[in-house]
Structure 1
Amino acid sequence: MSEDIEVVPVTIDVTDDAMTAMAGAMGGAEDGDVLVVSVLGGGCSGFMYDLQIQSRPDDDGWQFISCDGITIAVHDKDSKQLSGITLDFVNSLMGGGFKVINPNAQKACSCGKSFR
């Protein structure tokens, strides 16, 4: 029994700091690897962002965005929640990490990793 999902074209902005961090992280990746950005249930606000480097998915239902030689993949099921996001990379006293700025989120945690 399949569930109908609303699929929208995905656009993602990437800051210069995030681009530098992605290039560093992808430096040891295999040819054909992509950065998968997805939404998982959980976190303090209901949903969490998940970023993983993995082999390019070859099944249907994926959208691919090319960004300075790096491919970002988003599954159609996450397209409505992720279209229009900005990926940033921030350094702080507690360490650095990717931060997602999401205009679609009704509420976001200050950590930048959880939203509703």
Structure 2
Amino acid sequence: MQRVEGVKVNIEITEAAITALKSSMKGDEETHALVVSAESGGCSGYMYDMAIVEDPNDDNYQRVEENGMTILVHNRDSSLLDGIIIDFKDSLMGGGFQIENPNADRSCGCGQSFG
């Protein structure tokens, strides 16, 4: 597989997000990782996607180690996701993960789409 080049990615993750992720991983932090990606679509051009996967050990992903968590960003998404802050907000309506992105010129009201 050909290596995809990207920019060096910096990601920050809050304590609330780490707690929520560790709860979802159920002790699999050593063998699994959070993959954060930017998919084409949404009302602003791109949508965030996050998935917990078995660590692919693939050179096309950049690894960020943060408080015992491994976060992976594919090189093709690195310029869109460099500098993001991943947070988890709990609310009466269920809460969820939120991403603050300094690269987004615009975003939709739901916070899931950016451009």
Moved more, 100-109 or 17-26: 17-26
CA distance in 2, matches of 1:17, 1:36: 18
Q: 1:93 to 1:44 in 2, by over 3 A?
A: farther
- For 1:54, the equivalent position in structure 2 comes to 53
- 8 Å CA contact retained: 1:6, 1:80: no
1:105 CA displacement = 0.4
1:28 CA displacement = 4.8
- For 1:103, the equivalent position in structure 2 comes to 102
CA distance in 2, matches of 1:8, 1:66: 17
Kindly provide the CA deviation profile for residues 4-37 of structure 1, in whole angstroms up to 9, marking residues without a partner as x: x761111111112111111111225374110000
- 8 Å CA contact retained: 2:5, 2:60: no
Q: Per residue, is there more strand in 1 or in 2?
A: 1
- For 1:68, the equivalent position in structure 2 comes to 67
- State yes or no: 1:8 paired with 2:7: yes
- State yes or no: 1:17 paired with 2:28: no
1:93 CA displacement = 3.4
What RMSD over aligned residues (CA atoms) do the two structures have, in Å? Answer: 1.8
Matches within 5 A, 1:72-87: 72-87=71-86
Kindly provide the CA deviation profile for residues 65-102 of structure 1, in whole angstroms up to 9, marking residues without a partner as x: 11111100000000000010000111233321100000
CA distance in 1, matches of 2:32, 2:19: 17
Aligned length: 113
Identity %: 50
Gaps of 5+ in 2: none
1:58 CA displacement = 2.5
Gaps of 5+ in 1: none
CA distance in 1, matches of 2:76, 2:90: 31
Return structure 1 stretches of 4+ with deviation > 2 angstroms: 28-31, 91-94
* Alignment TM-score, normalising by the size of structure 1: 0.87
